[in-house]
Structures are given as structure tokens and as C-alpha cells.
Amino acid sequence: MKKKLIAGNWKMNGSSASNEALVKALAAGMDGKDCLVAVCVPAPYLGQVQALVANTGMDLGAQDLSQHESGAYTGEVSAVMLKDFGVRYAIVGHSERRQYHGETDALVALKAQRALANGITPIVCVGETLAEREAGQTEEVVKRQLAAVIHTNGHCISEIVVAYEPVWAIGTGKTASPEQAQEVHAVLRAQLKAATPHADRVHILYGGSMNAANAAQLLAQTDIDGGLVGGASLKAPDFLSIVAAAR
């Protein structure tokens, strides 16, 4: 059985001082962990956190990347640059990027492709809004979002990580129930199975108000292979409890 993956998404939080304290506290609690662990940090801190996670068993992640290889794209960060800092994962298509930066399914697919081409595992986020869920469109929305990535990435699709993050559960304290999450994860797994014989290798993470109290139940579901954790990843004891629940 594959190990679960617990990835922290720090979002736009942190400082040199708080990062150091947080990663040191995490490192001190990593003994005996039985899963993969990553922290996805703001770009300016990649160098700092690269040094802090060295030899801790934790991997480094970024929160976004450019779809372009290099050139005149002011403000963008390339996959090659991320690789230069030892980045293993890059989140792509987070709902906050889709919502506030107009990222489309097609753009997210290109970003995933750029990551894969440079040996970085894209964590592709999909998820419906509350209005979409209430309109009975959950399945249609997540399938459309994943289909774009499958279409662009073909046989490489078994190399991605998928994160199901219902938008209504992000930062709201409202978690999808384990059954609600499993239902969507099963849909995503079936979609991956239709695209690759290696779909069982793909980690499908749940994200949205995952915390120390609800992690074990979510992670016990058949198709939930880990978590993408926002708020709770900023507090060492909480993140470590989630890591401990991932067995």
C-alpha cells in the first residue's frame, strides 16, 4: 500500500522567524512518522525552508508556478527555479488562484505539464463551490477540472497528485463529511482509471478545514490518500497530529 501524503499549504503566511520556529518544531516531531510529509511555502522562503527541511524527512513544495519555461514574465516563478531550490511538489489550480487570479482549467493543465516536464509533482486542486454543490453539479465540476489536466498530460497522469478541496470547506471550519469526501474521491479515482492503468498509484488528497480532530476519519476512507492542510499546517502540534493520524 502506498504511504499517505500530508502536505501543508502555508498560503501567504510566515516570516523568517516564524518559519524557522515552525519547521524546527515539526522536525522535532517527525520521529516514527509513517507517511510522506511536505510543506508548500511562499516563494521568497523556498531557500530558507529548503535548508530547514534538509535531513528531516520532509519535502519542500511551492504554491504555484508559471506555465512558461523562462523569459519576460514579470513576477512569475518558473519550474526550473523551483527545481533549483529542491522543490518536489507544486500546488497548481488552487481555488484561491482560480477565484482571485482567473486561472482556467486549461491554464492549470499547462502548469501541471510544466511541473511534470521539470520533475516536479503537481498537486492539482479541484473542487466545487457551495452553489455548485447545491445545484447538484459537484461531480460535473470536478470531472471537468481533472479532465483538462488528463487531456493535456496523457500518460504522465499517473505522476500527478490530485487534491479534492471543496471551496465551501476551505478556511470555513466546515469539513466535508468523510462520506461526502469519499464519494468525490471515488469519482476522481474512476476518472483516473479510465486514463491510466496506474491510477491506484495516484495520491488523491482531501483539503478543506482538515484538522487534528477530523483527520483520522477522513484518512480512513478508501480513496483518501492524504491531506492538503491550510490553517492547521501553521501550528506545529496540529500538523503533527494530522501526520500521526496518517498511517
Interior/surface letters 131-147, b for 16+ CB within 10 angstroms, e for the rest: ebbeeeebeebbbebbe
| Closest approach of ligand 13P to the CB of residue 230, in Å | 2
Q: Is 217 helix (H, G, I), strand (E, B) or coil?
A: helix
| Closest approach of ligand 13P to the CB of residue 238, in Å | 10
- Say whether 165 is catalytic: yes
- Say whether 128 is catalytic: no
Distance CA 126, CA 128 (A): 7
CB atoms within 10 A of CB 153: 23
Q: Whose Cβ is closer to ligand 13P: residue 14's or residue 231's?
A: 231
CA 197 distance to own-chain centroid? 22
Question: Longest Cα pair distance anywhere in the chain, in angstroms?
Answer: 47
CA distances in angstroms from 57 to 27, 33, 187, listed in the order given: 8, 9, 32
Among 159, 165, 185, 203, which one carries the catalytic annotation?
165
CA proximity to 246, closest of 63, 24, 30: 30
Q: What residue number has its CB nearest to ligand 13P? A: 230
Q: Whose Cβ is closer to ligand 13P: residue 141's or residue 195's?
A: 141
Q: Whose Cβ is closer to ligand 13P: residue 85's or residue 164's?
A: 164
| Closest approach of ligand 13P to the CB of residue 199, in Å | 22
Distance CA 161, CA 182 (A): 16
Among 94, 103, 132, 159, which one carries the catalytic annotation?
94
Residues contributing to the site for ligand 13P (CB under 6 A):
9, 94, 165, 170-171, 207-210, 228-232
Question: How many CA atoms are closer than 13 Å to the CA of 20, on its beta-carbon side?
Answer: 3
Q: Whose Cβ is closer to ligand 13P: residue 196's or residue 211's?
A: 211
Q: Is 86 helix (H, G, I), strand (E, B) or coil?
A: coil
| Closest approach of ligand 13P to the CB of residue 71, in Å | 29
| Closest approach of ligand 13P to the CB of residue 228, in Å | 4
Q: Whose Cβ is closer to ligand 13P: residue 115's or residue 195's?
A: 115
Catalytically active residues, by annotation: 94, 165
